[in-house]
Structure 1
Amino acid sequence: MKRYYLRLLLLFTTVSVLISCEDYLDVSPDLGIDVNEVFTDYFSTRGAVDRASRLIHNYVYNQTDWSSEIGAMSDECQMSQERFPTHNTLNAGVWMDSGAREIGGMRYINQGTEFDGSDFNSEPVAKAFLAIRAVNSVLDNIDLLKEYPTELGYTPQQLKDQLVGQSYFLRAFHYFQIIRRYGGFPIMNKVYSTSYNFDEERPTYLESTDALIEDCDKAIDLLPEVWNDQNEGRATKTSARALKAMALLYAASPLMNPDLNPYGSNSKTYNISYAEKAAVAAAEAINSYSLGGYSMYSMDNYTENWLSRTPGFPKEAIIVAPFSRHSDPVGGIIGEGWVLPQFAGGWFAESPPTHNAVEWFETALGYDVNDPEAVTNGGFDPNNPYANRDPRLKQLIFTHGDDMFEGLPNPSGQNQRVLDASSNPVGWHYNFDVSKNKMFTGYYHKGKHRWLGCDRWNRIGGYYRSMPHIRVAQLYLDYAEAVNEAYGPNGTAPGSSLTAIEAINVVRNRANMPNVLSKYSASKEEFRKRIYNERAVELFHEQHRWHDLRRWKLAKEVLGQGNIYAADIKTINGQTVYGKKIIEGAIRVFEDKHYWYPFPQEVMDIMSKFEQNPGW
């Protein structure tokens, strides 16, 4: 019993009592380090806060992150090889005690560090425990702080408020990473001692969210609206407002409200009270984001959100993981294996876009491609299906006939340059993947995480890479969804004159797309479909789709076996015929129990009050 108790204690406390960027903080106080030696000094205290910031998961940092590609757990991408955990564990539904990647955070809380390449099993939840411990140590000891620098341009009180505000924000952010996956979780608002009794009743998801929102509100009060140049990228009032809006939208969602949507039922009712709160929070974030120096890129500079030749944080990124740069003149493709085709230097573990994802992109006139009117009135040509589409399609995905190396020296083999996804007669790219026993979708990634020249021939490096967790466009998407549920398509949130429809149009117009068609916004239910689709398009390949399908309670029906498609392109009598086909072997086992991640059995064995998630 004692052995299991210590494992549970490790879950909450991790191995160190004081966590910081400084090595001397990564030790137990039993080794002789006094908190007064640490928290009386501003820079060592800030080191603990910065550690928690660096523990924000960066999905595009290193070569281990291919298997954290949760887009391949949804209908967004397809893991091309069967031998990797995304396919044989996560998509197979074999989650309990597997410790595999995205669902392994409860079992790997002490694996490696955040940036040295040894964090193979350090997933967002694992890092969340480390980060929360760090900021709780700061909050518990902040009154010990006495030694303040004079060269930073802030008063001692401002410096103290900044540390406390960042701590509340980071605790809320990392706690959100836990509850969005596991559901209601004990409120982690203290540094736990070895004598603490963890066998307590679980709070509900809404109770956990309420505690998170309290931290967001404290952060909003204390954080600056904008930082000076030396502190670019730190959390601001807008960061906290955006997190608050996102957390409240999740709390309003069907999955998080079992009283309205019982386990195993097909009901998908929103919590209107929390939708109203989310709408107000999103409106406040929208009204203030420009004060923090944030703005939306034009479509010409759209990919600056993820790839840039210049250092610094994307101006659209409100919450963003730390930067990385891959400038190796020999390879220049480290960390790109999960988006780069194997023939171009990527790995077996690539996860290219599905045909499901391609169908999300409307016609240039704003018609859903599956709407019969798309052909008659919407400019959709089934014989040339990739033309006259939402500009984001060509910006983000290579489709049949695209020159994948435009403007660059030819790669080895002319037939590798233009994507040939045809299967009859067999195209080069189709044949390559099939010969490698890979599941071919007919598409390759482009734009967000892969730059032109990132390949084994041209080897162009030197890009700063980013993975925003929340950016300005999402504020409008969150607002639109919350307002639609609370007040309808033409409703507005208190304190805002922006309707749900107008909010969606802000995102669409930036992409040079027309306003959403009136036929798609005639009712709350009809407009909800368009909101969901707009999120899928605008947030494509940003690790949102999987969690969105779960919180909407749509994952079971969307990810049912046989629902993952590839392009089906054939030449018949000299004419190219376009269609789609189910990807053989592309499993997605998703039952009701998979809506929440399971707690390890070794933890549940010793808990009498704490409840396991349903079905596990």
Structure 2
Amino acid sequence: MYLKNINPKRLRQLISPLLIILVLVLPAAVVSCEDMMGNYLEKPPGGDVTEDTIFSSKTQLETFMTSIYQMGIHSNLGYASVKSNIYSNRDENIFAGACDEAETCANWYRMNWWNEGSISANRIDDSRFDYRFIAIRKVTVLLDRIYDVPDITPEYRDQLIAEAKLIRALNYFEMMKRYGGMPIIRERLQLDDNLKIPRASLREMLNFILQDIDEAYPALLDNALQNLRGRMHKGVALALKSKVLLYAASPLFNTNVPYLDFGANNNLICLNEPKNMVWWERAAAVADSCIRWAEQNGCYLITDQGVDANYQYSWEVYDNPEIILAEKCSSGMGCWNRPWSGIIPSTIIAGSSGTNGTTPLLNFVRKYEDREGNKVEWNGGDDLQAKMANLDRRFSQTIAYNLSWWNSQTPEVQLWEANAELGVSAGKHIKDCYGGFWLHKLVSPSIMRPDNQNPVPNSTLFQLNEIYLNFAEAMNEAYGPDDRHGFKYTAREAINIIRQRSGQPAILSGSGAYPDFRELVRNERAIELAFDNHRFWDVRRWMIAEEDGVMSGPMYGIKIYWISTSPQEFRYTPYLYENRTFTKKMYLHPFSTNEVNKGYLIQNPGY
């Protein structure tokens, strides 16, 4: 089912048939130099709407719950996912342009700050910092006042409490992966309270997130995969817990030697104990539980569209059975607005001009195997079209390449350089295509010229393919590739399920191009979750971001040249596009100078 512009009636259908029309006036902020954690202390009601009014009936409560979803559920695609004249949230573009996946072609996007190594306390890209704390405040208000609502059943009350706690856990995880330990807000704060709550240790924050998830789980809906799309349920709890534990188990956090020495504050940025395999074991167990939940609740990997279409169907089709949770609070966006303006090439869809699109880099394209499971060399030559035609089928379902089909209006993508000797002009779509490829994933072929349409982004936060990959990674680290340890699959079996639905051969024990199974797991994760807001975080939690060609050093593209017009033949040449800078401090985000100056935060090391 494809979504149309989301009006209040549609929003009610997506988040809950019980939620009333979204008319709550978004809160005005109470901002002063003493306001901690962004706009945490903004007052929930505005105008004549009081807090007592909000908690006077189930109808009013559901309106407030809608605002928690609106503030607390983010988009992975980088656009204004909080719609109001008061709050304008621009998360810029997708993070692919800040790692080896791609280049964000317009140089004014904040992703380029990472590439320059110029991220600092005065140059950060976390525009949702305030909104997370506003969402957390709303949760604490709900937990404090929900028992005052007279016309609500205990079962429904407990369900809303559970949903609110899960949203709080999600927002704290989003902060944990950026900053490490953060101030923990367990109860409501008033203006006369001590607001200078210090950062909790990473272990304390991790425990708090897991506690919220565990407390929420029993009262959540079993699933919300039909008319409740976008609402928190048991599958989301398991998916989030799987991801939280995977990050906790990873080298960035699972150590007593952090990426930079922070002295007495090491416990803010790592677990501050020697590597503990228990985190990997727990991550594997929860991912296994999520896979079993999926089997019992109508959530499954897309395998019935054919190997040439399964993958694209899984990211393109709204509300398909592979999606566990998608952000549903946003309406359609014109092609000149985010996220489209930073993704769609202006030479293909008019209206995205000025931002130029996202171009995958050769660094990333090299990760695609051929269809026999072999690594592919990209050293230049006359075999470009044949080479691309024989790549892993996920390549053509993700990336637009020379002579590929975009949609019925652009049946041939033209990415060649001009050749005066052959009388060939430059391809129509080569402008600003630094990598020699365009990103096509995330953009439905149904988006056409002219640009007066408003397509709704399919912003997926949790999808079942990720859970299989979480499971494979955790299982391999804890038990190796072939020890089932009582779970449904081995790590190898989980990887092969993902590969084979796109026609890639199974990786047999002792065979294949990856003698190191960890390398295989990481490469498979890169390909399957390409451009889904994972790679930027994965390479940092694995602590490989500083390696050449990842977030540091040389980034390559290809240039394509005609060698014959009849028949069409091309040669390609790899070239150095740019050198990027990554320093160790960039394994975590900095806090803004404004927040640090409020006196409650210790800045992360190196900033």
TM-score (norm 1): 0.79
The whole-number CA distance in structure 1 between the counterparts of 2:553 and 2:284 is: 36
Equivalenced residues, count: 546
Residues 383 and 570, structure 2, Cα contact 8 Å, conserved in 1: no
The whole-number CA distance in structure 2 between the counterparts of 1:452 and 1:69 is: 19
How many Å apart are 1:132 and its aligned residue? Answer: 1.1
SS where residue 574 of structure 2 aligns? strand
Distance of aligned partners of 1:503 and 1:570 in 2 relative to their CA distance in 1, 3 Å threshold? same
Distance of aligned partners of 1:549 and 1:218 in 2 relative to their CA distance in 1, 3 Å threshold? same
How many Å apart are 1:545 and its aligned residue? Answer: 0.9
Q: Partner of 1:253 in structure 2? A: 250
The whole-number CA distance in structure 2 between the counterparts of 1:543 and 1:286 is: 21
How many Å apart are 1:228 and its aligned residue? Answer: 8.6
The whole-number CA distance in structure 2 between the counterparts of 1:17 and 1:246 is: 32
Find the partner of 1:580 among 553, 574, 579: 574
Q: Partner of 2:525 in structure 1? A: 535
The whole-number CA distance in structure 2 between the counterparts of 1:548 and 1:217 is: 25
Q: How does 1:138-287 map to 2 (within 5 A)?
A: 138-148=142-152, 156-227=153-224, 230-263=227-260, 271-287=276-292
SS where residue 150 of structure 2 aligns? coil
Answering whether residue 116 of structure 2 is matched by residue 92 of structure 1, we say yes
How many Å apart are 1:429 and its aligned residue? Answer: 5.3
Q: Partner of 1:51 in structure 2? A: 67
Answering whether residue 477 of structure 2 is matched by residue 500 of structure 1, we say no
Q: Partner of 1:128 in structure 2? A: 132
Instruction: Letter of the 1:398 partner, please give it.
Output: A
Q: Partner of 2:447 in structure 1? A: 454
Find the partner of 1:307 among 290, 311, 316: 316
Instruction: Letter of the 2:386 partner, please give it.
Output: N
Q: Partner of 2:503 in structure 1? A: 512
Q: Partner of 1:118 in structure 2? A: none
C-alpha offsets along residues 40-65 of structure 1, whole Å, 9 cap, x if unaligned?
A: 32222222322222231224585886
Find the partner of 1:7 among 17, 29, 33: 33
C-alpha offsets along residues 211-250 of structure 1, whole Å, 9 cap, x if unaligned?
A: 1001111111110213495533311111101100100100
Answering whether residue 542 of structure 2 is matched by residue 552 of structure 1, we say yes
Residues 415 and 437, structure 2, Cα contact 8 Å, conserved in 1: no
Residues 257 and 270, structure 1, Cα contact 8 Å, conserved in 2: yes
Distance of aligned partners of 1:460 and 1:199 in 2 relative to their CA distance in 1, 3 Å threshold? closer
C-alpha offsets along residues 564-611 of structure 1, whole Å, 9 cap, x if unaligned?
A: 11123345699633342211xx45321001111111234334537x43
Q: Partner of 2:42 in structure 1? A: 16
Q: Partner of 1:114 in structure 2? A: none
The whole-number CA distance in structure 2 between the counterparts of 1:513 and 1:212 is: 37
How many Å apart are 1:190 and its aligned residue? Answer: 1.9
C-alpha offsets along residues 284-332 of structure 1, whole Å, 9 cap, x if unaligned?
A: 1111123333222235354344434xxx63321112111656497xx79
Q: Partner of 1:361 in structure 2? A: 368
SS where residue 78 of structure 1 aligns? strand
The whole-number CA distance in structure 1 between the counterparts of 2:433 and 2:378 is: 28
Residues 489 and 501, structure 1, Cα contact 8 Å, conserved in 2: yes
Q: Partner of 2:406 in structure 1? A: 404
Distance of aligned partners of 1:533 and 1:270 in 2 relative to their CA distance in 1, 3 Å threshold? farther
SS where residue 256 of structure 1 aligns? coil
How many Å apart are 1:341 and its aligned residue? Answer: 1.3
The whole-number CA distance in structure 2 between the counterparts of 1:519 and 1:162 is: 48
SS where residue 481 of structure 2 aligns? coil
Q: Partner of 1:385 in structure 2? A: 387
SS where residue 386 of structure 1 aligns? helix
Residues 305 and 468, structure 1, Cα contact 8 Å, conserved in 2: no
Q: CA RMSD in A?
A: 3.5
The whole-number CA distance in structure 2 between the counterparts of 1:590 and 1:65 is: 24
Find the partner of 2:587 among 587, 590, 595: 595
How many Å apart are 1:563 and its aligned residue? Answer: 2.2
SS where residue 563 of structure 1 aligns? strand
SS where residue 611 of structure 1 aligns? coil
Instruction: Letter of the 1:7 partner, please give it.
Output: C
Distance of aligned partners of 1:320 and 1:192 in 2 relative to their CA distance in 1, 3 Å threshold? same
TM-score (norm 2): 0.81
Distance of aligned partners of 1:261 and 1:451 in 2 relative to their CA distance in 1, 3 Å threshold? same
Q: Partner of 1:348 in structure 2? A: 354
Find the partner of 1:82 among 101, 107, 119: 107
SS where residue 194 of structure 1 aligns? coil
Distance of aligned partners of 1:606 and 1:335 in 2 relative to their CA distance in 1, 3 Å threshold? closer
Q: How does 1:109-124 map to 2 (within 5 A)?
A: 123=128
Q: Partner of 2:86 in structure 1? A: none
Residues 172 and 215, structure 1, Cα contact 8 Å, conserved in 2: yes
Answering whether residue 468 of structure 2 is matched by residue 476 of structure 1, we say yes
Distance of aligned partners of 1:186 and 1:90 in 2 relative to their CA distance in 1, 3 Å threshold? same
191-200 or 572-581, larger mean C-alpha shift: 572-581
Residues 254 and 261, structure 1, Cα contact 8 Å, conserved in 2: no
Distance of aligned partners of 1:235 and 1:293 in 2 relative to their CA distance in 1, 3 Å threshold? farther
How many Å apart are 1:175 and its aligned residue? Answer: 1.0
How many Å apart are 1:453 and its aligned residue? Answer: 5.0
How many Å apart are 1:34 and its aligned residue? Answer: 5.0
C-alpha offsets along residues 72-100 of structure 1, whole Å, 9 cap, x if unaligned?
A: 0111110213233332x332232224355
How many Å apart are 1:486 and its aligned residue? Answer: 0.9
How many Å apart are 1:465 and its aligned residue? Answer: 3.1
SS where residue 535 of structure 1 aligns? helix
The whole-number CA distance in structure 2 between the counterparts of 1:399 and 1:385 is: 11
SS where residue 189 of structure 1 aligns? coil
Distance of aligned partners of 1:42 and 1:590 in 2 relative to their CA distance in 1, 3 Å threshold? same
Instruction: Letter of the 1:532 partner, please give it.
Output: R
Distance of aligned partners of 1:170 and 1:503 in 2 relative to their CA distance in 1, 3 Å threshold? same
How many Å apart are 1:39 and its aligned residue? Answer: 1.7
Distance of aligned partners of 1:128 and 1:528 in 2 relative to their CA distance in 1, 3 Å threshold? same
220-229 or 593-602, larger mean C-alpha shift: 220-229
SS where residue 252 of structure 2 aligns? helix
Q: Partner of 1:441 in structure 2? A: 435
Structure 2: state its 5+ residue gaps: 1-29, 81-88, 263-269
How many Å apart are 1:254 and its aligned residue? Answer: 0.8
How many Å apart are 1:463 and its aligned residue? Answer: 5.0
The whole-number CA distance in structure 1 between the counterparts of 2:426 and 2:181 is: 46
Answering whether residue 303 of structure 2 is matched by residue 338 of structure 1, we say no
SS where residue 352 of structure 1 aligns? strand
563-572 or 340-349, larger mean C-alpha shift: 563-572
Instruction: Letter of the 1:286 partner, please give it.
Output: I
Instruction: Letter of the 2:480 partner, please give it.
Output: G
Residues 8 and 603, structure 1, Cα contact 8 Å, conserved in 2: no
Distance of aligned partners of 1:370 and 1:127 in 2 relative to their CA distance in 1, 3 Å threshold? farther
The whole-number CA distance in structure 1 between the counterparts of 2:134 and 2:314 is: 28
Residues 59 and 65, structure 1, Cα contact 8 Å, conserved in 2: no
Percent of residue pairs identical: 25
The whole-number CA distance in structure 2 between the counterparts of 1:292 and 1:51 is: 27
Q: Partner of 1:109 in structure 2? A: none
C-alpha offsets along residues 114-152 of structure 1, whole Å, 9 cap, x if unaligned?
A: xxxxxxxxx3x332112111111111112112123xxxx
Answering whether residue 596 of structure 2 is matched by residue 615 of structure 1, we say no
Instruction: Letter of the 2:321 partner, please give it.
Output: K
556-565 or 572-581, larger mean C-alpha shift: 572-581
Find the partner of 1:568 among 547, 552, 559: 559
C-alpha offsets along residues 477-531 of structure 1, whole Å, 9 cap, x if unaligned?
A: 001111111111112355x1310111111111222222125446899x8111111
The whole-number CA distance in structure 1 between the counterparts of 2:98 and 2:587 is: 12
Distance of aligned partners of 1:131 and 1:392 in 2 relative to their CA distance in 1, 3 Å threshold? same
